[in-house]
């Protein structure tokens, strides 16, 4: 059974960079056809797609976040990462990592990790 687990700093100061990692177990992150995504949910609000990295290494980002987001993969550690720069309070959210199936559905999710932006 595939499992995803987010980790990283739960508190980030304004203007700094948010960094999260998603460890994948029970399967290979290099499996063909899958994409690895980040999705966030501000407290009490809806889901927002952040971006994904394809198994080939190609990346696609939400246009509203594109200038601040970087998603990368470390195949040797079977994990992928999110960096979001110049954060503000508006970036406070529960951040989820998820696997996206080749037919564009999110079939496995991490439990989510709350990141608070505050000085």
Partner 1 sequence: QSALTQPASVSGSPGQSITISCTGTSSDVGGYNYVSWYQQHPGKAPKLMIYEVSNRPSGVSNRFSGSKSGNTASLTISGLQAEDEADYYCSSYTSSSTRVFGTGTKVTVL
Q: Which residues bind partner 1 (CB under 8 A)?
A: 37, 39, 45-49, 51-52, 60-64, 96, 100-101, 103-107, 109-112
- Which DSSP string corresponds to 45-81? S--EEEEEEETTS-EEE-TTTTTTEEEEEEGGGTEEE
Query: Based on CB atoms, which residue is closest to partner 1, 16 or 48?
Result: 48
3-state SS, residue 101: strand
Q: Please report how close the Cβ of residue 23 comes to partner 1 at its closest, in angstroms.
A: 15
Q: Please report how close the Cβ of residue 105 comes to partner 1 at its closest, in angstroms.
A: 4
* Tokens coding 13: 């100061």
* Tokens coding 72: 């990368």
Query: Based on CB atoms, which residue is closest to partner 1, 4 or 87?
Result: 4
């Amino acid at each position: 059974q595939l499992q995803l687990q987010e980790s990283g700093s739960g508190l980030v100061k304004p203007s700094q960079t948010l960094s999260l990692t998603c460890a994948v177990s029970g399967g290979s992150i290099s499996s063909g056809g899958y994409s690895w995504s980040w999705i966030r949910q501000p407290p009490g609000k809806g889901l927002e797609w952040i971006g994904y990295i394809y198994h080939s290494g190609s990346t696609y980002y939400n246009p509203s976040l594109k200038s601040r987001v970087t998603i990368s993969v470390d195949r040797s550690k079977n994990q992928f990462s999110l960096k979001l720069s110049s954060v503000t309070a508006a970036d406070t959210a529960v951040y989820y990592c998820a696997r996206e199936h080749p037919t564009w559905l999110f079939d496995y999710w991490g439990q989510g990790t709350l990141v608070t932006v505050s000085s």
